[in-house]
Structure 1
Amino acid sequence: MKTALIYISRHGTTEIIAQHLAALIGSNVTLYNLENEPDPVITDYDQVIIGGSIHYGSIQDQVKNFCKRNLATLLDKKLGLFICCILDSTDSGQFSRAFPAVLGAHSVAQGIFEGDLIFKKLNFIERILFKPSVDGQDVIKINEKSIASFIKDLAVPHGFQRTMPTPHIPSKC
């Protein structure tokens, strides 16, 4: 199955996870970083995976815009959606706000993969905002269980659609 894995990464974690997903899927995966290629053509792909990171409660505009521009095409593809986030979020509100509801309902795989918070990668304002919540320490929390569950869900045959897929939500993300 020919797969397009489309992502954007602010501090590098989402890119690492996208590369990890590509390796787990195997051959025939093309990675597209929306920072370098803002509008990849997806018509020739059987499966599309889209991911980004949550900053200040929202996914990157590039992901939102890509989804809006390609909504009709995405609804004809086998679809996986994921986010990376680091702060405590026991509800799935961040995920549901990240992607259009129609794409969430259409997707066969959804994931919240947590992430990392490396202080030297943060700007001044981000350091001030995050320092109290994590005591100024680097935090690395990639949720391998959630990634494995996402890969398993991708194995669902195209055409099978759950009524309301529920992302694996770790206790903290």
Structure 2
Amino acid sequence: MKALFLYSSREGQTKKILHYIEEELSEFECEVVDLHSVDRVDFTQYDRVLIGASIRFGHFNKKLYQFIENNIEQLKQNKVAFFCVNLTARKEDQGKDTPEGSAYIKTFLTKSAWQPELIGVFAGALYYPRYKWFDRVMIRFIMTMTGGETDTSKEVEYTNWKKVSLFAKKFVNM
């Protein structure tokens, strides 16, 4: 069995999540591809396709929407799942880590012609020391407003790996 993993990641957490899922899928031969490097893909060569995309300053990268537009018929006709990575999803007690509770997924579903049957929402990571000055200042401001980590010398991973494992099982059983 073959799976294609496409990702749109800014700091690497989305790709890290895909590699974690790859480890969970021992029965699949997985190919991991940067979504920004392809316009079209032949989905018929794969038994499953998984697309992961991160949020930065409240938005997905426009390349995600361009890819969907270029591949919409295949997305609708094949076993394709989607997940979103964002810092708001760290608020699991508020349901921000669910498709129903994620403002980003709600916006995605209204903007996108593709309506995935399986959607995951995972908390990302804060990599303050790796950010450029402007990004560090803006993300710190957002984290101050939302009650998150504001120490810019820290790197904090919020990803709930048990939740990622459960999603991987659902992906296999699509």
Does the pair score TM above 0.5? Answer: yes
Structure 1: stretches of 5+ with no match in the other structure: 158-173
Instruction: Give the aligned length.
Output: 155
TM-score (norm 2): 0.78
- 1:95 corresponding residue in structure 2: 105
Q: 1:52·1:63 contact (CA, 8 Å) conserved in 2?
A: yes
- 1:126 corresponding residue in structure 2: 135
Q: 2:25·2:172 contact (CA, 8 Å) conserved in 1?
A: no
The structural deviation recorded for 1:47 is 1.2
TM-score (norm 1): 0.79
Residue 57, structure 1, aligned to residue 58, structure 2: yes
Q: 2:68·2:112 contact (CA, 8 Å) conserved in 1?
A: no
Q: 2:21·2:165 contact (CA, 8 Å) conserved in 1?
A: no
Structure 2: stretches of 5+ with no match in the other structure: 144-148
- 1:23 corresponding residue in structure 2: 23
The structural deviation recorded for 1:46 is 2.2
Written as runs of structure 1 = structure 2, the 5 A alignment for 1:1-173 is: 1-26=1-26, 27-87=28-88, 90=96, 91-98=101-108, 103-104=114-115, 106-107=116-117, 109-132=118-141, 133=143, 134-136=149-151, 137-157=154-174
Task: Give me the whole-angstrom Cα distance separating, in 1, the residues matched to 2:16 and 2:108.
Answer: 20
Q: 2:65·2:112 contact (CA, 8 Å) conserved in 1?
A: no
Identity score, percent: 22
Q: 1:85·1:113 contact (CA, 8 Å) conserved in 2?
A: yes
Task: Give me the whole-angstrom Cα distance separating, in 2, the residues matched to 1:24 and 1:98.
Answer: 27
Alpha carbons of structure 1 residues 140 and 153: separation in structure 2 relative to 1, 3 Å: same
Task: Show structure 1 runs of 4+ deviating over 4 A.
Answer: 99-102
Secondary structure of the residue that 1:43 maps to in structure 2? helix
Alpha carbons of structure 1 residues 73 and 59: separation in structure 2 relative to 1, 3 Å: same
Secondary structure of the residue that 1:142 maps to in structure 2? coil
